Amino acid sequence: MTRFRFRLERLLGLREASERARAQAFGRATETAALARRVATASAQLERDAEQQVARAMAGPMPAGLFGSLAAARDDIAGRAADLAEASHVADEERTQALADYRDARRDRSILERLSDIRREAFQLEVSRAERREMDEIAARRRGGVHP
């Protein structure tokens, strides 16, 4: 009897490779998003600390130039914190897209695997039927007194 051969095996292999690549991309995107989130959180804390320092410094008398320098530093830190928060948001969106891509690739591979399983079962059923017919023929010949 012939061996089972799934005609779309090569495509299934490509889908499996695609799924692995998408899983790796999702992993990298997850790591990048986590790092961006940690950096944004640290930057936000730095911004809060700068605000507190400026508030403490303004509690007493200070030269006008120092006030301007503190305000400029505070504004720079706030701008960087906003940029890092936006970068974290973008990284989260990229992670979400990478997850969707991975799920699509996994679904595509799963569909082909189910098709392969269905065709394998049909093939095995046909093999079983052929073997049963062959056994019935042998039994019929033996009952009829004819030996092969």
CATH architecture of the domain covering 9-143: Orthogonal Bundle (1.10)
pLDDT of residue 61: 82
pLDDT profile of the chain (148 residues), mean per 10? 86 95 97 96 92 84 81 90 95 97 96 95 94 91 69
Instruction: State the pLDDT at residue 67.
Output: 78
Taking the alpha carbons at both ends of the chain, their separation in whole angstroms is 20
For residue 148, what pLDDT is reported? 53
The answer to whether 12 and 109 are in contact (CB under 8 A) is yes
Report the pLDDT value the prediction gives residue 1, as an integer from 0 to 100. 61
- pTM across the whole model: 0.73
